[in-house]
Amino acid sequence: METTLSKEYRRICRDPANHQPLAYLRLRQAIRNVVQQHDVEPGHALPSERDLALVLKLSRVTVRKAIAGLVEEGLLTQRHGAGTFIAERIVKPMSRLTSFTEDLRERGLRPRSEFFERVIGEVTPEESMAMNLSPGSLVVRLHRLRYGQDEPLAIERSVVPASVLPDPMLVRDSLYEALEQLGCRPRRALQRLRAVSLNAQQARLLHVAVGSAGLNIERRSFLDDGRVVEFTTSWYRGDIYDFVAELHTD
Ligand code: 16G
């Protein structure tokens, strides 16, 4: 990995299109790139801080800073006494409002969805309460099984006001990409996370045993003007995902 990484780091430094003056951010990008390009697989160890500093002619403080940010993002994990590794589980920072597609691409995994439902219909009483919509409003409903490479990772049911997303077929792979194109990418979200045992149908879809641990997440996302843009309920596989949050004292 050391040579691939140092080649990538040097390439970034020489790239005239790269205007990043800070070495630790360039190194972070180089590590991200080698993971995304599958030049190094999950579970592999990163060269030691000392070796990286020597090979890349950087200070250890710079290398440490680059690594710390990627540990926080969930791309790398550190095991005490053993070193730093490319994360095997998918670590999802809870402080960033990202999409499934973005999360997977960042880790070099190919996202894919199987649609069970992609329709337009009338809002239910529960949805109208959750989304602040008047009874009778139209909504788009998506029910999807979400894959990373060819492995099923999550089941998602999303509801989006038709006033924001007029045609369900505008969502091809990513809901957030479709919303972005409409100028309605969510800016803020409220999320509730709950531990669940996956029922028979969910377990069958996610290729795990019935009763396996899952994470049930409800997300309500908002536009800048306060309108609710999505109400999504997801069931993520508990054996693969870690949700992490950074906490601060007041
Ligand atoms: C994530 C979101 C979900 C959102 C989806 C959009 C969580 C817990 N949930 O799965 O609310 O609708 O991403 O992904 O993170 P997409 O743009 O790939 O369709």
The whole-number average pLDDT for the span 4-8 is 90
Q: Identify which has the larger pLDDT, 37 or 24.
A: 24
Is residue 211 scored above 90 in pLDDT? yes
Q: If you take atom 4 of ligand 1, which residue's CA is the nearest one?
A: 99
Atom of ligand 1 nearest to the CA of 176: 17
Distance from the CA of 242 to the center of ligand 1, in angstroms? 15
Distance from the CA of 8 to the center of ligand 1, in angstroms? 31
CATH class of 2-86: mainly alpha
**Confidence grade of residue 179 (pLDDT, cut at 50, 70, 90):** very high
Distance from the CA of 99 to the center of ligand 1, in angstroms? 4
Is residue 163 scored above 90 in pLDDT? yes
pLDDT at res. 91? 82
Task: Name the β-bridge partners of 121.
Answer: 139
pLDDT at res. 243? 86
74 with 90: CB under 8 angstroms?
Answer: yes
**Confidence grade of residue 58 (pLDDT, cut at 50, 70, 90):** very high
Amino acid letter for position 10: R
55: CB partners within 8 A, 6+ apart: 2, 6, 47
Pairing of strands 241-244, 90-93: parallel
Is residue 38 scored above 80 in pLDDT? no
Q: Which residues have C-beta atoms less than 6 Å from ligand 1? A: 99-101, 156, 158, 174-177, 217, 219, 230, 232, 234
Atom of ligand 1 nearest to the CA of 243: 8
Q: How do the domains of the chain map onto residue ranges?
A: 2-86, 90-244
pLDDT at res. 17? 83
pLDDT at res. 16? 83
pLDDT at res. 108? 81
| Best CA proximity match to 107, nearest among 27, 28, 33, 217 | 33
**Confidence grade of residue 123 (pLDDT, cut at 50, 70, 90):** very high
The whole-number average pLDDT for the span 10-15 is 90
The whole-number average pLDDT for the span 199-205 is 96
Q: Identify which has the larger pLDDT, 3 or 53.
A: 53
Distance from the CA of 248 to the center of ligand 1, in angstroms? 25
| Mean pLDDT (the chain, rounded) | 92
pLDDT at res. 217? 97
pLDDT at res. 101? 96
**Confidence grade of residue 124 (pLDDT, cut at 50, 70, 90):** very high
pLDDT at res. 245? 84
Atom of ligand 1 nearest to the CA of 99: 13
Pairing of strands 151-161, 228-237: antiparallel
- Among 191, 232, 235, 240, the mutation site with the greatest number of ligand 1 atoms within 8 A of its Cβ is 232
pLDDT at res. 63? 95
Atom of ligand 1 nearest to the CA of 102: 18
Pairing of strands 151-161, 138-148: antiparallel
Q: How far apart are CA 244 and CA 246, in angstroms?
A: 7
Which helix (H) or strand (E) segment is 26 a member of?
Answer: helix 23-36
Q: CATH number of the domain at 90-244, please?
A: 3.40.1410.10
Give, rounded to a whole angstrom, the gap between the first and last alpha carbons of the chain: 41
- Among 113, 118, 156, the mutation site with the greatest number of ligand 1 atoms within 8 A of its Cβ is 156
The whole-number average pLDDT for the span 92-101 is 91
pLDDT at res. 147? 95
The whole-number average pLDDT for the span 102-124 is 93
